[in-house]
Amino acid sequence: MSELPFFQSPDQKINLTKKGFYWNDRILQVLSFLAFGILVYDIGFSKVVQSGKLAVFYNFLLIVLSVGYTIRLFSKSEKYRTSRLVIEILIILFLLTAAVFNLMGFQIDQNFRIANLQIKSFLVNLLIFILFLIELSRLSLAINKLKVHPAVVFILSFLLVIVIGTGMLMLPNATTNGISLVDALFTSTSAVCVTGLIVLDTSKDFTFMGQFIIMILFQVGGLGMMTFTSFFGFFFKGGYSLQNQLFLKDYINEDNIGRINSTLVKIIVFTLVVEGIAAMLVYSLIDKGLFQGFGDRLFFSVFHAISGFCNAGFSTLQNGLYESGFRLEYNVHLVIAMTIIIGGIGFPVVVGYFNYLRHVFIGTKRMIFKGAEYQHIPRVVNINIRLIVYTTFILLVIGFISYYHFESEYTLKGLSGYGKFVTAFFGSVTPRTAGFNTVDMTAMAVPTVLIYLILMWIGASPGSTGGGLKTSTFAVAVLNTLSVAKGKERVEVFSREISSDTIKKAFAVIQLSFFVIGLGVFMVMLFNPEMNILDVAFEIFSAFSTVGLSLGITSSLSTGSKIVVTLIMFLGRVGTLTVLVAIVKKARSQNYKYPDESVYIS
């Protein structure tokens, strides 16, 4: 006969308590997912949780969640900081208060009853979404226990968000006239892969709810699912294990394991700060007369700020930034262009220069106030950062000069001097995976279209929100070609030698990009033989490099072509080499070496 709980030994009580906390965590995860599912059903179909039996169950669920989070507060395995403790207590109190008030039919002043109910409903819905995100984030931190290759996890994380996004966009309340599965999949993939190609008009065919879903999708897709969830998991779990840190270092391009936490926080904070500043600038600079009210103007500013930073290219305007009235908002175009550049230059560059400026500031302060000697540190701004910055600058200059020259009698004709400058500058920025248009794309000169193909193919920088071949890959390939032409055995730049592994990866990525793009053009021409080859090539380059620019054929694609473009957008975002690494079995260490023999190349 088993002993009663109060007759158990101290060790048995400790084990029982641990099991209790463990099952409490599992139950919280299930209940938070269930509450989120009910919430999605409610906002996607009809307001069914406002009354009836489902409303009672929903409010009872909120009470159980508040009890579960209260139990979690006493778990010794949780590392609580003051900020986290305060937030979780507020979550518990709000859940409990909202549920009790709803069950008791509590009403505040009758004159403000409707407004109060709407605000309360919004806050509860927002809180349920946050709880779902918290539990999903905590669950994602345990993914390393599955012993799965990081490349597989990276790919599956994008697939998961795409599938969820497809389901969300198919909700009746997300569109004005419904949407097919293929179109929902295409739109979700375009948003998550921060591409911007659309088969439906974002401004007319999607409701505010649909546009909000799209915005969330490209925000998560721009940062990366693992980066996004790991941040919340870190905050609400109290820290990372060594396994978590080893698993995350590849996702955020941080070689120093000790800096994983701080780098992740910097990425999230930097993203929110840049997007917030961009939104405020757009809001203050845009003409108020273009909007119906404060809400429309605010949502436009936030949507385009996030879309710009994430290099997504989505717009709530029917013709993009070329919409009548918006096409002359040159100051807004400059703000969005700078946001695109910052988002596309890559987080490693931002973090590198942040660390460098921080060191200079601290060193200078010590030298002035304490009389200490200024201490230099190893190269924080390494060769990777310098290559990215130099290449980005050169491509922007070449793009600006080319656009200004070739478009002088086309899309720039009739504009003011300032208008020509801003339009040409924006035209050099947007093909670098951004996807916004301030001109009629079909009116561009052929030389400009061809230059756009090259700029789209190169794309943004590694570790950024953009796609494409990547600036550093292109730079390494060019440097290697110059070294071969000079007869040099090594590739050297900035007093450093580039490793042979880097050169091999660069040319592997280039070869795979040509293969995918060529196959994509072939397949689309097979499904839509009536289309112009240049238009199709532009579409595929745009899809692979997650740009989003089009010569106007996206909505005319057949179902087969839409599926092809969807796959190419996905491959362009996650990386063809990443997919290859994930599916090809890794070779064992080679303890042998065959004799060298030359192969004729030219």
pLDDT of residue 105: 54
Q: What does R_g of the chain's alpha carbons equal in angstroms?
A: 27
Question: CA-CA distance, 114 to 95, in Å (whole number)?
Answer: 20
pLDDT at residue 4, rounded to an integer: 53
Band (5; pLDDT cuts 50, 70, 90): low
The DSSP bridge partners found for residue 492 are: 497
Q: Give which of 157, 465, 536, 155 is closest to 313, Cα–Cα.
A: 465
Q: What is the mean pLDDT of residues 424-437?
A: 90
* 43 residue type, one letter: I
Region of poorest pLDDT, from 229-238, 478-487, 556-565: 229-238
- The gap from C-alpha 380 to its chain's centroid, in whole angstroms, comes to 26
Q: Looking at the chain, how many residues does it have?
A: 602
Task: Read off the tokens for 476.
Answer: 């390494």
Separation between Cα atoms, residue 223 and residue 146, nearest integer Å: 23
CA distance linking residue 96 with residue 103, whole number of Å: 11
- E-state strands within 119-211: none
- What share of the chain in percent tops pLDDT 70? 80
> Does position 23 have pLDDT exceeding 70, yes or no?
yes
The listed range with the strongest mean pLDDT (149-153, 233-237, 437-441, 587-591) is 437-441
The pLDDT, as a whole number, for residue 116 is 47
- Nearest CA among 313, 285, 311 for reference residue 297: 285
Q: How confident is the model at residue 114 (pLDDT cuts 50, 70, 90)?
A: very low
CA distances from 322 to 12, 20, 328 (A): 70, 59, 8
The answer to whether residues 448 and 406 touch, using CB atoms and an 8 Å cutoff, is yes
C-alpha distance from residue 569 to each of 158, 374, 508, 565 (Å)? 12, 49, 19, 6
Among 576, 535, 534, 571, residue whose Cα is nearest residue 553:
535
**Residue carrying the six token digits 């839409």:** 562
Of the candidates 365, 308, 299, 358, which has an alpha carbon nearest to the alpha carbon of residue 332? 308
Residue 467: band (very low, low, confident or very high) from pLDDT cuts 50, 70, 90: confident
pLDDT greater than 90 at residue 62:
no
Give me the mean pLDDT over the 557-570 stretch. Answer: 94
Stretch 545-568: mean pLDDT, rounded? 92
- Residue-wise pLDDT for 172-222, tens only, equals 889 999 899 999 999 999 999 988 899 999 989 999 989 999 999 998 888
Answer whether 237's CB lies under 8 Å from 141's CB.
yes
Within 13 Å of residue 306, how many CA atoms lie on the same side as its CB? 26
Give the dihedral of Cα atoms 365, 368, 371, 376; nearest 10 deg: 50
Q: Give the lowest-confidence range in 234-248, 317-331, 392-406.
A: 234-248
Sorted by sequence, the CB contacts under 8 Å of residue 242 that are 6+ apart come out as 257
DSSP secondary structure code for residue 499 in this structure: P
Tokens of 332: 């807004």
Residue 175's DSSP bridge partners are 206
| pLDDT over 80 (residue 235) | no
Task: Output the 3-class SS for 49-74.
Answer: CCCCHHHHHHHHHHHHHHHHHHHHCC
Task: List the one residue out of 473, 513, 314, 325 whose CA is nearest residue 391.
Answer: 473
- Contact (CB, 8 A) for 508 and 496: no
pLDDT per position as a tens digit, 240-275:
555 555 556 665 666 666 666 777 778 888 888 999
Segment 48-70 shows an average pLDDT of: 75
Residue type, 343: G
pLDDT in tens, 128-145: 877 787 777 777 666 666
Across the chain, mean pLDDT equals: 82
Ranking 112-126, 127-141, 190-204, 470-484 by mean pLDDT, the lowest is 112-126
CB contact at 8 A, 458 and 417? no
The sign of the CA dihedral 437, 516, 466, 184 is positive
Highest mean pLDDT among 99-103, 108-112, 263-267, 451-455: 451-455
More confidently predicted of 98 and 422: 422
Share of the chain above pLDDT 90, in %: 36
Residue 29, helix vs strand vs coil: helix
For residues 225 and 429, the model is more confident at: 429
